[in-house]
Amino acid sequence: MRLLITKECRAAYNMALDEAIFLYMGKNSIKIPTLRMYSWNPVAFSIGYFQRVEEVLNLKKCEDIGVDWVRRPSGGGAILHKKEVTYSFITEANNEFSNISTSYAKINRAILETLKLFNLNFKTACYKIDSNKHHLCFLEFAGIDILLNGKKVSGSAQRRRNGVVLHHGSIKLDIDVNLLKIISRTDEDEVLSKMTSLKRELGDNPGFDKVAEAITKSFEKVFEEEVIESVLMEEEIKIANELIESKYANEKWNYKRR
């Protein structure tokens, strides 16, 4: 399994790079599973593939404060990417990954193993526990989510094409309640009652590097294969740069509801 760690990238680049790896794998006969971990600079929101941005974010406030935003290639609700570890996993859609439920279950096992390394008392939401749709990913609970003390700490979404799966996920290190209130039209009580972070549960933020290391170890254990740190291929970089121009830094893509 290939490991890529690309910390502190712009929103458009983060999404373009994930899709570039996804597309490149789809057209190659040799498909090496790729785990990528990254963060965002500047702070950004990503909205789900099917969302209307005007219904989700206060765009004027985003501009005033300097918060970036981008439309993801995967579904789900909007996510504030600040003080978290974001990860993508791109792999061939075979065996467990030929099925949506089993693919989520396997990746969730790796994330649960990650939480075990921090001695956290987790529960999986293995059943539908919230029938109310919410525009923010971390304020809506579904069977694929991971909870700590009844609050969501990790969410995920997928896209499938040409026999390849792109899985997006994130683990919250901390929560900026004020920023969520200002930009995403929600209130503090709702955030604190449904959403948590490693800092809230541990009393301290373990930081990106420690959590990324724990995720790597957990993927090795669950997938029973070595995770080897690698670098981007030239073709992946080329595709990513093309996607930045054509999609992720392009208003036509970001404003369009699919």
Question: Per-residue confidence of the chain (258 residues) as pLDDT tens digits?
Answer: 999 999 899 999 999 999 999 999 999 888 999 999 999 999 999 999 999 999 899 999 999 999 999 999 999 889 999 999 999 999 999 999 999 989 999 999 999 999 999 998 765 544 444 445 678 887 877 767 888 888 899 989 999 999 999 999 999 999 999 999 999 878 888 898 899 999 999 999 999 999 999 999 999 999 999 999 999 999 999 999 999 999 999 999 999 865
> Where do the domains of the chain lie, and which CATH numbers do they carry?
2-255 (3.30.930.10)
Separation CA 115–CA 98 (nearest Å)? 26
Start-to-end Cα distance in the chain: 32
What are the C-alpha distances in Å from 125 to residues 86, 88, 141, 148, 189?
20, 21, 8, 10, 21
E strand or H helix that includes residue 44: strand 44-47
62 is catalytic: no
Whether residue 148 contacts residue 253, with contact meaning beta carbons closer than 8 Å, is answered with no
Which of 79, 52, 95 lies closest to 186, judged by CA?
79
Residue 150 has a CB neighbour count (10 Å cut-off) of 12
pLDDT at 125: 47
Element (H, E) at 53: helix 53-56
From 9, 62, 126, 137, active-site residue:
137
Extract the tokens encoding 157: 């979404």
| List of residues 6+ apart from 252 with CB closer than 8 A | none
Q: How far apart are CA 52 and CA 255, in angstroms?
A: 7
pLDDT at 110: 95
As a whole number of angstroms, the distance between CA 45 and CA 56 comes to 10
Which amino acid is present at 55? E
Which pLDDT score is estimated for 257? 64
**Residue 67: alpha-carbon gap to chain centroid:** 17
Q: 172: helix, coil or strand? A: strand
